[in-house]
Amino acid sequence: AAEPGPIVKPLPPDLFIAHGTNAEMRWEAMKGKGLLVPNDRFFVRNHTRTPLIDARTWRLRLHGTGLRGAPPAGRAVEFGYEDLLALPAETMTVAVECAGNGRSFYGTQQGTPAEGTPWRLGGVGVARWRGVRLATVLERAGLAETAVDVLPRGLDPNFVTGGVDLGPVRRPLPVAKALDDVLLAYEMNGEPLPPDHGFPVRLVVPGWIGVSSVKWVGEIEVADRPLFSPWNTRFYRLFGPDHPPEGGPPLAEQVVKSAFELPWDATVRAGRPVVLTGRSWSPHGPVRRVEVSTDGGATWRTARLRGPERGWRRWETTWRPDRPGPTALLARATDASGATQPDRAVFNTYGYLFGAVVRHPVLVA
């Protein structure tokens, strides 16, 4: 029998661009659609492969020096799937986005390719997540006032790179963020989490780089001191010529970005109006303004913002292309904090946080 792939759900080529163990959403598939990305078209980012977990035997185990009454290395508190479902539930509509989303543009647009999955802009999605606040579970487990860091671990196979086993995917979260708005989610868009998105339970960490939102979580260490893993030391820091030799601080928040709901290298007819649609999103609060250029950045107009903002904001503008030939469409968002997408992103070796305005190639024919 054929070995199952690293991703369980089908990846039809009109909805996804596959990249090894990962798959990005095709933006044109969101044209005219609602706010939420349906589960069957949501991007997948797997360090290894999707595990199939039985909810009946699954346990979430909390332990560590950051829990009260801990005999030095002893006490653990366990929750089963039904235990979590019985706790007070919350829902939130937020984006999960890979830190490397947009990475390919360091190479194709700025001339310096970065290492890693060559995402265009499809490494992001917005869903309605339902679950228990991580704060609720930490409090029930006996969170100590001295707790500093919280380290969730995935139950997927260990990540092996360059012949070295780095262990299960895990990444510490400061206790302040863990208590603020983090969800232990068991539902995505009204369904139990699909296997590829973390069944039975995953973290959803609003505004933070995707790797914080650990999938298939089975264990959470709570410590009274800072914790480390390769996912906040070796990876997910800014390395390279413009950054400190040990890397910048561990990455936390994403940056403001925009995308057109249009095929890459789309063809449009000269002399016919076309409604350009897209979405913009930011971790720093609502998108206030989106400007669009249809002439490669020479002139700009303001797009109409459409509908409510949840996770992201939809927008549109009408364009009447006249001159036949290749051009580039650009979208530039500004959020409520005043942050605007720059013309260029500062290079880093692993190509994280590409927030510059993307030049979307289009042919007028």
Residues that bind ligand MTE (CB under 6 A): 42-47, 96, 98, 154, 156, 169, 197, 210-211, 213-216
**DSSP type of residue 253:** B
Which residue in 35, 143, 201, 211 binds Mo ion (CB under 5 A)?
211
> Nearest distance from residue 290's CB to Mo ion, in Å?
25
Spatial distance between the Cα atoms of 312 and 252, rounded to a whole number of angstroms? 19
- Amino acid letter for position 202: R
Q: Which is nearer to Mo ion, 64 or 123 (CB)?
A: 123
Output the residue with the shortest Cβ distance to ligand MTE.
154
By C-beta, is 213 or 282 nearer to ligand MTE?
213
CA-atom Rg of the chain in angstroms? 21
* Closer residue to Mo ion (CB): 99 or 262: 99
Name the minimum Å distance from CB 45 to ligand MTE: 4
Q: Is 12 helix (H, G, I), strand (E, B) or coil?
A: coil
What single-letter DSSP state applies at residue 84? H
Binding-site residue total for Mo ion (CB under 5 A)?
Answer: 4
Round to whole Å and give the CA distance between 337 and 61: 38
Considering only residues 98, 126, 184, 303, which one is a binding residue for Mo ion as defined by CB under 5 A?
98
Amino acid at 349: T
Least distance (Å) between residue 19 CB and Mo ion: 12
- Looking at beta carbons only, is 154 or 278 nearer to ligand MTE? 154
Binding of residue 45 to Mo ion (CB under 5 A): yes
> Using CB distances below 5 to 8 A depending on partner kind, what does residue 232 bind out of ligand MTE, Mo ion, none?
none
Least CB distance to ligand MTE at residue 211 (A): 4
Tell whether residue 9 is a contact of Mo ion (CB under 5 A): no
Q: How far is the CB of 201 from ligand MTE (least distance, A)?
A: 11
CA-CA-CA-CA dihedral for 50, 22, 11, 308, to nearest 10: 100
Residue whose structure tokens are 């509509």: 93
Minimum distance, C-beta of residue 293 to Mo ion, in the bound complex (Å): 29
DSSP characters over 122-187 = -SEEEEEEEEEEHHHHHHHHTB-TT--EEEEEE-SPPPEETTEE--S-B--EEHHHHHHT-EEEEE
Q: What, of ligand MTE, Mo ion, none, does residue 156 touch, CB below 5 to 8 Å by kind? A: ligand MTE
CA atoms within 13 A on the CB side of 265: 0
Q: How far apart are CA 1 and CA 212, in angstroms?
A: 35
Using CB under 5 A as the binding rule, the residues of this chain from 230 to 289 that contact Mo ion are none
Say if residues 36 and 93 touch (Cβ distance below 8 Å): yes
84 binds, among ligand MTE, Mo ion, none (CB under 5 to 8 A by kind): none
Contact 94, 311 (CB under 8 A): yes
Whole-number minimum distance, CB 168 to ligand MTE, in Å?
A: 7
Binding residues for Mo ion, rule: CB under 5 A, are 45, 98, 210-211
